[in-house]
Amino acid sequence: MRTLILASSLLLLFAVGGVAGANELKPLNEYLRTNNKKDLTVSIYLMNRCAGLSAFIASFTKEKAPDLSANMETRAKSLLVMAATADSKSSKRKYEDSVKNFTEVLKTIRGSYLIDGKKNWAKTGSYFESSYIDDDRKICEEVATSLNIK
């Protein structure tokens, strides 16, 4: 149990943060090149990253595209529930503890996307186009589709 928690925490530490001036998050395509997609901790991390990205998209589309925002918020919640379910089953951690932990992870990831999105907005006038965030969005669309999440 502690091994999975430690592994998940380490994955998050290595995949979030970085060098000054760099992205807040490691692009998912880079992360997936160096990690086994079939590994449960990688799957859980992907669900958490995609939940955070969905929450980020929901936050900046709330006023101009409320339907998209609501869909992204629902997607974020669905991904969080799936990640927490997988984590609690594989680690014997209480489901409620997994939800609490991953809710905090979601907030951290959403905040990191927000920082990078604002940087991209200042450069391009878009939160994610022409950046790793758009590539992450495409990967997360595939993740959502593979999990039958709209």
Question: Domain extents for the chain?
Answer: 2-146
Nearest to 78 by CA among 14, 148, 129, 139: 148
Residues in contact with 121: Cβ distance below 8 Å, sequence separation at least 6, in sequence order = 127
Q: Which residue type occupies 84?
A: A
pLDDT, tens digit (0-9, with 9 covering 90-100), for 65-94: 999 999 999 999 999 999 999 999 999 899
The span from the CA of 141 to the CA of 146, in Å, is 9
Is the whole model's pTM more than 0.75, yes or no? yes
Q: What is the longest distance spanned by two Cα atoms in the chain?
A: 45
Helices and strands of the chain, counted as H and E runs? 6, 0
pLDDT cut 70: percent of the chain above it: 86
